[in-house]
Amino acid sequence: MDYIDLIKVVPIVNEKIIKETLARMGVANSKKKIIYPSCYLILRDGDYYLAHFKELFLLKDGGYNNISDEDINRRNAIAWNLVNWGLIESLDPETIEPHDKYIYVVSYSNKHEWRVNHKINTYAWESDSEGM
């Protein structure tokens, strides 16, 4: 299953707000209070994209590919929420149409009680260079 079809977006608010919100959305271990963010906002060649972290592995040197339909559905559901919350505008709205995928979101007021466990370092994928 090959996916490198990132969602091109336009931030409506400061990108730091979007990134902080994304850090609180994903798969959670509620007993240990750990959130594993699923998606990241990346800047490539002057454009912003929303990507599942597994898509980012595919962008680098043909990285390993274990992305699933569920991962893409989760990414699309997260994008749909960000659009509805007024944080981003999607340049491909039919991709993120309403969904039935449950997304765990740690509330802003409770974020200090949770640990964020990133599975990827997004700085490696952000650049204004060629090679996406």
What's the pLDDT score for residue 130? 39
Q: How far is C-alpha 69 from the geometric centre of its chain's CA atoms?
A: 15
β-sheet bridge partners, residue 9: 48, 90
> Would you call 131 helix, strand, or coil by DSSP?
coil
Just give the CATH number of 7-125. Answer: 3.30.70.650
Q: What is the length of the chain? A: 132
What's the pLDDT score for residue 95? 81
Domain residue spans in the chain? 7-125
Alpha carbon distance 81, 89 (integer Å): 11
What's the pLDDT score for residue 29? 95
Residues of the chain with pLDDT under 50: 1-3, 127-132
If one counts every other C-beta atom within 10 angstroms of the C-beta of residue 90, the result is 19
- pTM, full prediction: 0.85
What's the pLDDT score for residue 91? 87
What's the pLDDT score for residue 122? 62
Distance linking the first and last C-alpha atoms of the chain: 19
